[in-house]
Structure 1
Amino acid sequence: MKKKSTAAAIAAKDRLKASFFKKGVTIGLLSGLTYGLFAAFITLAMQRGIWGDWYGDNTAGLSTFAIVFILGALGTALNDILSAVWAFINCGRKGKIQDFFRTLNTAPGRMLMLAAVMGGPIANVAYIIGIQLAGSIAIPITALCPAIGAILGRVIYKQELNKRMALGIIICVSASVIIGSVGIGGDTGDSIVLGLVIAFVAALGWGLEGVIAGFGSSMVDTEISITIRQVTSGVANFLILLPILGLLGGGITQPFVLAGQAFASGSSMIWFAVSGFFAFISFMWWYKGNSMTGAAMGMATNGTYSFFGPLSCWVLLGIIMGQDGWSLTAIEWFAAVTMAIGIFVIAMNPLDLFKKKEEVLDEAA
Structure 2
Amino acid sequence: MNEKSGMANSSAIAAKRQLAANFRKKGISIALFSGLMYGFYSAFMTLGMKKGVWADWYGDNKAALSALVITYLLGALGSAVNDTCSAVWAMLHAIMKGKGGDFFRCLKTKPGKVMILAALIGGPIASTAYVVGLQMAGSIVIPITALCPAIGAILGRVLFKQELNKRMMAGIAICVLSSFMIGSTSIGGDAPKGMFLGLCIAFIAALGWGFEGCVAGYGTSMIDSDIGITIRQATSGLSNLLILLPIFGIIFGDGVGFSANLVGQAFTSGPSMIFFALSGLCAFVSYMCWYNGNSMCGAALGMACNGTYSFWGPFCCWIVLGVFAGMEGWSLPPIAWISAITMMVGILTIAMNPLDLFRKKEAKSNEAA
TM-score, with structure 1 as normaliser: 0.97
2:259 pairs with one of 248, 255, 260: 255
> Is the aligned partner of 1:322 residue 2:307?
no
The answer to whether the Cα contact below 8 Å between 1:217 and 1:291 also exists between their aligned partners in 2 is: no
What is the distance in 1 between the residues matched to 2:22 and 2:118?
A: 29
Match of 1:353 in 2: 357
Match of 1:96 in 2: 99
Q: Deviations over 1:285-335 (max 9, x none)?
A: 112222223332222111111100000011111111111111111111101
The answer to whether the Cα contact below 8 Å between 2:134 and 2:141 also exists between their aligned partners in 1 is: yes
1:43 pairs with one of 46, 50, 60: 46
What is the distance in 2 between the residues matched to 1:225 and 1:52?
A: 34
Match of 1:168 in 2: 171
Q: Give the number of equivalent residue pairs.
A: 365
Taking the TM superposition and a 5 Å limit, the aligned residue runs for 1:199-348 are: 199-250=202-253, 251-348=255-352
User: Structure 1: 5+ residue runs without aligned partners?
Assistant: none
1:105 pairs with one of 104, 108, 116: 108
The answer to whether the Cα contact below 8 Å between 1:112 and 1:225 also exists between their aligned partners in 2 is: yes
SS in 2 for 1:60: helix
User: Structure 2: 5+ residue runs without aligned partners?
Assistant: none
Q: CA deviation at 1:360?
A: 1.7
2:18 pairs with one of 15, 18, 27: 15
What is the distance in 1 between the residues matched to 2:361 and 2:261?
A: 58
Q: CA deviation at 1:3?
A: 4.3
2:56 pairs with one of 53, 67, 89: 53
What is the distance in 1 between the residues matched to 2:133 and 2:156?
A: 25
Q: CA deviation at 1:26?
A: 1.1
Q: CA deviation at 1:93?
A: 1.1
Amino acid at match of 2:351: A
SS in 1 for 2:348: helix
- RMSD over aligned CA atoms reads 1.3
Amino acid at match of 1:95: G
> Is the aligned partner of 1:120 residue 2:89?
no
Q: Deviations over 1:102-129 (max 9, x none)?
A: 1111111111111111111111111110
2:137 pairs with one of 134, 139, 143: 134
What is the distance in 2 between the residues matched to 1:319 and 1:125?
A: 26
Amino acid at match of 2:335: I
Q: 1:25 to 1:186 in 2, by over 3 A?
A: farther
- Runs of 4+ that moved beyond 6 A: none
What is the distance in 1 between the residues matched to 2:262 and 2:190?
A: 31
2:160 pairs with one of 157, 160, 183: 157
Q: Deviations over 1:331-364 (max 9, x none)?
A: 1110111011111111111110011112222222
